[in-house]
């Protein structure tokens, strides 16, 4: 039984060799051995109920707990080609940001199917989940989960609008890392989240996605609220930053909130991260 299945798959692979890569790939049979090259992808795979099909993940795939027990194939920017091949995957899912493009080329050359998960912004997540579901042969489940995410996001937006009641948009700053001072600029999930909640990201017009800001700039733009990412550990690191910003009203009035790193990855859990932000913004 397994032999026939394998032969079928082999023939399909041969047929697909040389076809240029696109985000959507047609399968003869749904892939059962999946290698994930990005932590966000791993989370989504588990969310869609296909966690048991995953045969290998990166060192950084830490959610859910079962993901940590999966075999590893190296890092995010330097995965081991050999380990990927040794896992005998039917499908390798990768992203364009961070995974080296050479790995993609090598996998193509070796005839191993790859799927590029392209969703990068908040609004692209539901469609990305649907597309991935289609590629995995679970379009129905994926559509349901994607719809759930969409509803949750719409809900949060509505609630935020209601509580703002037409007043001026609150100015927010999201600090990714206190030293060196990196903040979330435009074209990031975090920025999308703030916009969804009706807040204005004061770093939105900076040149890059994660610009290195100066204290001066922050003081000048005077945010109403500051979020600092990555949990309670960064409390120590950010002490000196807060000291330097103590002239800000936001700092003096205690409108500095430490939030978890849920917003760093684009997954269904991002919604929870946005809820966290919404909670803090509501009180203002």
Partner 1 sequence: MLKYVLLLGVLFLPLAVLSRKTWGAPAFVTSGRVIRVCLFLLAVVLAIAAISLFFGSSPIDVAAAIRWLLSGADTAHPWSATDQTILFSIRLPRIVFAGIVGGSLAAAGVVFQGLLRNPLADPYILGISSGAAVGALCALLLGVAFAPGVSGSAFLGALLTVILVYGIARTRTELHSATLLLAGVIVNAFFGAVIMFLIATAGDKKLHNAMFWLMGDLSLALWPEIFLAGFFLLAGFAVIFVNARALNLIAVSEETAGQLGVPVERTKTLLLLAASLITGVAVSVSGIIGFAGLIVPHLMRMLLGSDHRLLLPSSVLFGGAFLMVADTLARTILAPSELPVGVITALCGAPYFIYLLRRRG
Judged by the rule CB under 8 A, the positions of this chain that interact with partner 1 are: 59, 72-83, 85-86, 88, 97-98, 100, 102-103, 105-106, 109-110, 182, 207-210, 212
Nearest to partner 1 of 82, 179 (CB atom): 82
Nearest to partner 1 of 94, 251 (CB atom): 94
Nearest to partner 1 of 56, 193 (CB atom): 56
Half-sphere exposure of 130 (CA within 13 A, CB side): 12
Nearest to partner 1 of 185, 268 (CB atom): 185
Nearest to partner 1 of 210, 257 (CB atom): 210
Instruction: From residue 266, give the alpha-carbon distance in Å to each of 88, 174, 253.
Output: 27, 16, 31
SS3 string of the chain? CHHHHHHHHHHHHHHHCCCCCCCCCCCCCCCCCEEECCHHHHHHHHHCCCHHHEEEECCCCCCCHHHHCCCECECCCCECHHHHHHCCCCEEEEECCCCCHHHHHHHHHCCCCEEEECCCCHHHHHHHHHHHHHHHCCHHHHHHHHHHHHHHHHHHHHHHHHHHCCCCCCEEEEEEECCCCEECCCCCHHHHHHHHCCCEECCCCCCCCCCECCHHHHHHHCCCEEEECCCCCHHHHHHHHHHHCCCCHHHHCCCEEECCHHHHCCCCCHHHHHHHHHHHHHCC
Nearest to partner 1 of 97, 249 (CB atom): 97
The nearest distance, CB 158 to partner 1, in angstroms, is 32
The nearest distance, CB 128 to partner 1, in angstroms, is 17
The nearest distance, CB 271 to partner 1, in angstroms, is 22
Nearest to partner 1 of 160, 190 (CB atom): 190
The nearest distance, CB 86 to partner 1, in angstroms, is 4
- Tokens 């609008």, located at residue: 161
Instruction: Report the distance separating Cα 173 and Cα 221, nearest Å.
Output: 10
């Amino acid at each position: 039984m397994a032999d026939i299945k394998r032969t079928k798959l082999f023939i399909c692979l041969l047929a697909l060799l040389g076809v240029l890569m696109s985000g959507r790939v047609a399968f003869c049979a749904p892939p059962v051995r999946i290698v994930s090259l990005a932590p966000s992808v791993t989370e989504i795979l588990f969310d869609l109920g296909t966690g048991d099909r995953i045969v290998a993940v990166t060192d950084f795939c830490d959610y859910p707990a079962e993901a940590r027990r999966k075999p590893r194939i190296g890092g995010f920017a330097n995965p081991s080609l050999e380990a990927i091949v040794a896992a005998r995957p039917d499908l390798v899912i990768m992203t364009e940001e961070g995974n080296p493009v050479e790995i993609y080329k090598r996998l193509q050359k070796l005839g191993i199917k790859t799927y590029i998960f392209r969703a990068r912004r908040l609004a692209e997540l539901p469609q990305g989940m649907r597309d991935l579901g289609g590629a995995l042969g679970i379009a129905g489940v994926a559509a349901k989960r994607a719809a759930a995410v969409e509803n949750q996001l719409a809900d949060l937006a509505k609630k935020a609008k209601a509580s703002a009641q037409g007043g001026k948009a609150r100015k927010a700053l999201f600090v990714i890392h206190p030293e060196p001072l990196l903040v979330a600029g435009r074209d990031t999930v975090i920025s999308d989240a703030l916009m969804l909640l009706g807040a204005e990201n004061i770093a939105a017009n900076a040149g890059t996605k994660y610009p290195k800001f100066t204290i001066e700039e922050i003081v000048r733009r005077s945010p109403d609220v500051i979020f600092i990412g990555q949990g309670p550990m960064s409390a120590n690191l950010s002490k000196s930053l807060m000291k330097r910003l103590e002239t800000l009203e936001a700092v003096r009035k205690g409108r500095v909130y430490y939030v978890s790193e849920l917003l760093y990855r684009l997954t269904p859990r991002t919604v929870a991260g946005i809820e966290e932000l919404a909670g803090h913004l509501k009180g203002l």
